[in-house]
Structure 1
Amino acid sequence: MISSGMVNLIMQMAVLGFVIPFVFILAWKVRTKKSIVPSFVGMGVFLLFTFCFESVPNMIFLHTKNPISEFITGNAIAYALYVSLMAAVFEEAGRFVAFKFFLTKHTDDNETAISYGLGHGGIECIIALGITQLQYYAYAQLINQNKIDTVINTLPDKASKTAMTELINAIKDMTLSESLLAGGQRFFIMFLQVALSVLVFKAVREVNNNRYIAIAIVLHTLGNIPAALYQRDVCPRLGSELFSIAYSIVVCIFAYNVYKSLPKKKTVSKEKDFDIAGKKLG
């Protein structure tokens, strides 16, 4: 049985996973009075590059039987490096494409970097926290109603049944503090996505500054590795989550300084040009 307090917390974390991203997106919209379009572009690009484009190499190097995939899946370090790098490359490529081609009307506004990042990180938070916690809530209800074994027995193969059993045991063993920490970590990762968006935005906003794309890829890869190692039972969950929080803070501080260095929109100079042109015509 799972306590009512734990079940309620799972639902509360699910609600926050859906609500908090939109709260930040709308708050930034109100504060800056800029378009909300970059946030929705960020959501779409994340879904496209993560679930469509990234799935192609993953199918080849993780899910198709060949010498390379056997090496990657059979070695925890190789697996962690591969999945971390692939996620970084495709997500940063998505950011670059978005700023370079989809948001050309918005790249004069530095606020676009934050708006896009909130959409990109927000949809990830909705999926990783909101939807996941909703699933946990449904499973918790089935556990408390003694119906979960029936669900497990309907699964088609032994591997699926084993994976589901491990997930159910993890839900049963989950504590209030672990759930709170996991939820908090997801919000810090959302801010990390904002920080990485600032770095790629700088590469697009300024001429000959493409090194910031490479910096974003490296920082993204390093940030993903502990979570990937946790998936392979190499890194403890607590260590992975605490690292993610601390790492996100450090990268956000770096990105904040980068954001302050971005060139300002040249509205004043344009007004002067119009004044000069008017005087010449007069």
Structure 2
Amino acid sequence: MSVAPITLVCLSLATLFVAALPVSLYRRLRVPFALDWRDTIAGVAVFAFFATVLERALNDYVLHGNAAAARVMANPAFFVLYGALAAGVCEEVGRYIALRLIERRGARKPTAPADGAALGYGIGHAGAEAWFVGVLVQLQWIVFAVLANRGDLDEHLSNLTLDSVLRVHLILASLSPLFAGVFAIERTAAFVFQIAFSVLMWRGVRAGWTGILPLAIVVHALIDVPAAMYQAGLAPLAAVDGFYAVAAVVVAIVLFRTCRRERRGVSVA
């Protein structure tokens, strides 16, 4: 089998776009919002540990390691509930801890926009997700597609089982320009949501509101419900991606207006 050249080009462009998104946004906001690179590194570290280590370990135990839990998760409703809450709890607890530490550090200039810490952290958290969940995965499929077009794929997959090799071929056969577009939309929407979660958490932390953590968990879980429904076979991909595209545009507009309003208020003061 082979992957059409137009599909490879579209997938490569979409991957490059997602890869450049956090870098370009950080460079764009670094001066006007006085971003601190330490906040961004904290965001990367939190996602790497709480999402890729803790959450994956929890999922492996609940979905595979514990027979009783796995039987419960076979019910689509319980799977959706668990999937949404697991991501919300793991990521928001990590975000809360990091932003509390950043707030206690208190080393920011008095004239700097207060949301700068949240934006810097959010770019790190969202950028780590974009790279770990999106860019690195798509790079693997691009490499597989190139190998398939050269006729060398099966040789490079010789250490895998027959079922795994067949799965790779099936996924490659499903790749298309539309898939590349969907990938770019999904990762961009997730990027916007992660920054919005960071601003929400930061404002709650700064206000000293104890209810911000449970609120953030609930909001994060609600955003993850459509994706979990798709994974459980309860919702079509087109509807889920359509919802995320519209929601991301709305959230981005609100985020832009609120952060710009605060920045103007600081600059006038």
TM over 0.5: yes
SS in 2 for 1:31: coil
Cα shift readout 1:101-145 (whole Å, capped 9, x = no counterpart): 245335863211111111101110112221111011011112212
Could you say which residue in structure 1 is the equivalent of 2:123? Answer: 118
How many Å apart are 1:65 and its aligned residue?
3.3
Counterparts in 2 of 1:154 and 1:262: CA distance versus 1, 3 Å:
same
Counterparts in 2 of 1:169 and 1:107: CA distance versus 1, 3 Å:
farther
Could you say which residue in structure 1 is the equivalent of 2:142? Answer: 137
How many Å apart are 1:88 and its aligned residue?
0.7
How many Å apart are 1:11 and its aligned residue?
2.0
TM-score of the pair, normalised by structure 2: 0.85
The answer as to whether partners of 1:39 and 1:119 remain within 8 angstroms in 2 is: yes
For 1:74-85, list aligned pairs within 5 A.
74-85=74-85
Of the structure 1 ranges 214-223 and 42-51, higher mean CA displacement relative to structure 2 is found in 214-223
SS in 2 for 1:2: coil
| Distance in 1 of aligned mates of 2:216 and 2:261 | 16
| Distance in 1 of aligned mates of 2:93 and 2:264 | 25
How many Å apart are 1:236 and its aligned residue?
2.1
How many Å apart are 1:33 and its aligned residue?
3.0
| Distance in 1 of aligned mates of 2:266 and 2:6 | 54
For 1:90-105, list aligned pairs within 5 A.
90-105=90-105
Matched to 1:199, the amino acid is L
The answer as to whether partners of 1:13 and 1:129 remain within 8 angstroms in 2 is: no
Matched to 2:135, the amino acid is G
The answer as to whether partners of 1:118 and 1:191 remain within 8 angstroms in 2 is: no
Unaligned runs of 5+ in 1: 270-282
For 1:25-40, list aligned pairs within 5 A.
25-40=26-41
For 1:144-159, list aligned pairs within 5 A.
144-156=149-161
The answer as to whether partners of 1:200 and 1:216 remain within 8 angstroms in 2 is: yes
Matched to 2:36, the amino acid is S
Could you say which residue in structure 1 is the equivalent of 2:56? Answer: 55
Matched to 2:133, the amino acid is A
The answer as to whether partners of 1:199 and 1:258 remain within 8 angstroms in 2 is: no
SS in 2 for 1:97: helix
Of the structure 1 ranges 125-134 and 53-62, higher mean CA displacement relative to structure 2 is found in 53-62
Could you say which residue in structure 1 is the equivalent of 2:191? Answer: 190
How many Å apart are 1:169 and its aligned residue?
1.8
SS in 2 for 1:54: helix
| Distance in 2 of aligned mates of 1:23 and 1:266 | 24
| Distance in 2 of aligned mates of 1:69 and 1:136 | 29
Of the structure 1 ranges 253-262 and 11-20, higher mean CA displacement relative to structure 2 is found in 253-262
The answer as to whether partners of 1:140 and 1:171 remain within 8 angstroms in 2 is: yes
| Distance in 2 of aligned mates of 1:117 and 1:263 | 17
Alignment RMSD (CA, Å) = 2.8
For 1:162-177, list aligned pairs within 5 A.
162-177=163-178
SS in 2 for 1:104: helix
Could you say which residue in structure 1 is the equivalent of 2:25? Answer: 24
The answer as to whether partners of 2:103 and 2:206 remain within 8 angstroms in 1 is: no
How many Å apart are 1:233 and its aligned residue?
3.2
Could you say which residue in structure 2 is the equivalent of 1:64? Answer: 65
How many Å apart are 1:190 and its aligned residue?
0.3
Could you say which residue in structure 1 is the equivalent of 2:132? Answer: 127
SS in 2 for 1:178: helix
Counterparts in 2 of 1:251 and 1:221: CA distance versus 1, 3 Å:
farther
| Distance in 1 of aligned mates of 2:147 and 2:249 | 38
Of the structure 1 ranges 98-107 and 221-230, higher mean CA displacement relative to structure 2 is found in 98-107
The answer as to whether partners of 1:10 and 1:134 remain within 8 angstroms in 2 is: no
How many Å apart are 1:22 and its aligned residue?
0.9
The answer as to whether partners of 2:185 and 2:241 remain within 8 angstroms in 1 is: no
Counterparts in 2 of 1:101 and 1:15: CA distance versus 1, 3 Å:
same
Counterparts in 2 of 1:6 and 1:30: CA distance versus 1, 3 Å:
same
The answer as to whether partners of 2:63 and 2:70 remain within 8 angstroms in 1 is: yes
Counterparts in 2 of 1:119 and 1:102: CA distance versus 1, 3 Å:
same
Counterparts in 2 of 1:63 and 1:7: CA distance versus 1, 3 Å:
same
| Distance in 2 of aligned mates of 1:212 and 1:46 | 19
Matched to 1:222, the amino acid is L
Q: Which structure is richer in relative contact order (CA contacts within 8 A, separation 6 or more)?
A: 2
